[in-house]
Amino acid sequence: MKNDTTSESHDWFLAIAARFFNIVFVFGGVASFLALAYVVYHYAWTGERQILGRTGLLYYITPCLIGVGLCCCLALKPRYKVDLGLIFISLGLSLWLGELVLRFTRTSPRVYLPVMSALAASKKDREKDAAKVAKQFAMSIDI
């Protein structure tokens, strides 16, 4: 008799946890597809930013694979949903905390400006710097 009660409470907890992780998977999938839309808009559609090299494909493939994978997790059995949901949340929190550590322990407080903005803001030897940039990029620069 005691074994049946434990099994029922285990099934009840598993059902609630599976519902929770369904919500996590849906929000994670939506977030990854929004990240994919952001990358497509800024890098492919408007071209206001550029990704150089073959590693740029990761910016397109990674959010797509994560979104499809999270949507596929919705069809799993509750036991597997809970396991994969815990893995997903653990990895997400680890990446987020790592990003926070890198952000607040940055050794160089420099703000990197685009070349032309840095050139316009330079106070000394502006003409010399402009000539150097013009030679490097094979273009003329008006000051």
The span from the CA of 133 to the CA of 93, in Å, is: 42
Asked if 120 and 134 sit in the same domain, the reply is yes
Report pLDDT for 1.
47
pLDDT band at 94 (very low <50, low <70, confident <90, very high): very high
The span from the CA of 110 to the CA of 108, in Å, is: 5
Asked if 77 and 134 sit in the same domain, the reply is no
Asked if 76 and 118 sit in the same domain, the reply is no
Asked if 124 and 66 sit in the same domain, the reply is no
Asked if 119 and 106 sit in the same domain, the reply is no
Asked if 104 and 130 sit in the same domain, the reply is no
pLDDT band at 120 (very low <50, low <70, confident <90, very high): confident
Angle at which helices 78-104 and 2-39 pack, to 10 degrees?
Answer: 50
Asked if 66 and 37 sit in the same domain, the reply is yes
Its domain, for residue 139, covers 112-143
Asked if 15 and 53 sit in the same domain, the reply is yes
How many structural domains are present in the chain? 2
- Tens of pLDDT, residue by residue over 22-31, are 999 999 999 9
Report pLDDT for 74.
94
Asked if 78 and 119 sit in the same domain, the reply is no
Give the pTM.
Answer: 0.63
- Tens of pLDDT, residue by residue over 48-75, are 778 777 788 888 899 999 999 999 999 9
- Rounded to 5 degrees, what are φ and ψ at 114? -60, 155
Report pLDDT for 111.
64
Report pLDDT for 109.
58
Asked if 91 and 68 sit in the same domain, the reply is yes
pLDDT band at 91 (very low <50, low <70, confident <90, very high): very high
Asked if 102 and 122 sit in the same domain, the reply is no
Asked if 14 and 65 sit in the same domain, the reply is yes
The whole-number average pLDDT for the span 10-14 is 87
Report pLDDT for 143.
66
